[in-house]
């Protein structure tokens, strides 16, 4: 991720990794949920919202959040093709996240003009991205790929790389990731329990988001 966030009254931070300690990873099944869900997350202190391209309504959800939720910095996750890059940016996505990367996808992300987090899970992938001038990455699937031990081992030989670990992270494990010098934030969905979303209990989502927003290294509040 080499470009700053687009200028707006809602986003002046130069990196998605610095917006909040946790980036909610959102799967929107019902378009009607997109805006109230995003409002609850923003109210709880989590402005960077990754909407994954895993459902038919994902593009419309990004468009709705971008247009109707002040304070939200909505991004697109599970971006896996160059064509998707153009589609999500046109819909209003202000950052891009991929589970992995190819040369073609990386070129499209770079050309998009918005920040991006290409996914890595091996040292070779990290080194390859550094060679391309990319220093901010998604580490995925975090727990399955080695967790905090793996990232800690990368910090000494590759201190220039920064990560947003995603995949299997919980409120209990998040502080351990955030304690690492090469971790800017973590991605997770625990603040969006399925029963709360199904019941449209946005007050509960906001409360869980507020707890997540206060996480820091060692489990203390920021």
b/e sequence 14-53, b meaning 16+ C-beta within 10 Å: ebbbebbbbbbbbbbbebebbbebbbbbbbbbbbbbbbbb
Active-site positions read 50, 138
- 213's tokens: 């927003």
| ∠ CA 59-27-112, rounded to 5° | 40
- 48's tokens: 């960077």
End-to-end CA distance of the chain: 25
DSSP 8-state secondary structure symbol assigned to residue 14: S
Helix or strand or coil: residue 83?
helix
**In the chain, helix, strand, coil percent, each to 5?**
40, 15, 45
Nearest to 24 by CA among 206, 173, 172: 206
| ∠ CA 50-56-57, rounded to 5° | 60
Question: What is the C-alpha separation between 33 and 61, in angstroms, rounded?
Answer: 9
């Amino acid at each position: 991720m080499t470009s700053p966030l687009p200028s707006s009254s809602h986003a002046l931070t130069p990196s998605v990794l610095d917006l909040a300690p946790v980036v909610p990873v959102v799967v929107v099944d019902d378009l009607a949920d997109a805006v109230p869900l995003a409002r609850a997350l923003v109210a709880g202190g989590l402005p960077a919202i990754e909407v994954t391209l895993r459902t038919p309504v994902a593009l419309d959800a990004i468009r709705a959040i971008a247009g109707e939720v002040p304070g939200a910095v909505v991004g697109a996750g599970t971006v896996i093709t160059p064509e998707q890059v153009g589609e999500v940016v046109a819909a209003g996505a202000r950052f891009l996240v991929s589970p992995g990367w190819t040369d073609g996808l990386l070129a499209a992300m770079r050309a998009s003009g918005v920040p991006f987090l290409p996914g890595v899970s091996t040292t070779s992938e990290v080194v390859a991205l550094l060679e391309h001038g990319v220093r901010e990455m998604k580490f995925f699937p975090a727990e399955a790929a080695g967790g905090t031990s793996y990232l800690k081992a990368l910090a000494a030989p590759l201190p220039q790389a920064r990560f947003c670990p995603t995949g299997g992270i919980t409120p209990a494990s998040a502080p351990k990731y955030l304690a690492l010098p090469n971790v800017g934030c973590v991605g997770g969905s625990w603040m969006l329990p399925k029963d709360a979303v199904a019941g449209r209990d946005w007050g509960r989502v906001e409360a869980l988001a507020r707890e997540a927003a206060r996480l820091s290294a060692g489990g203390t509040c920021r």
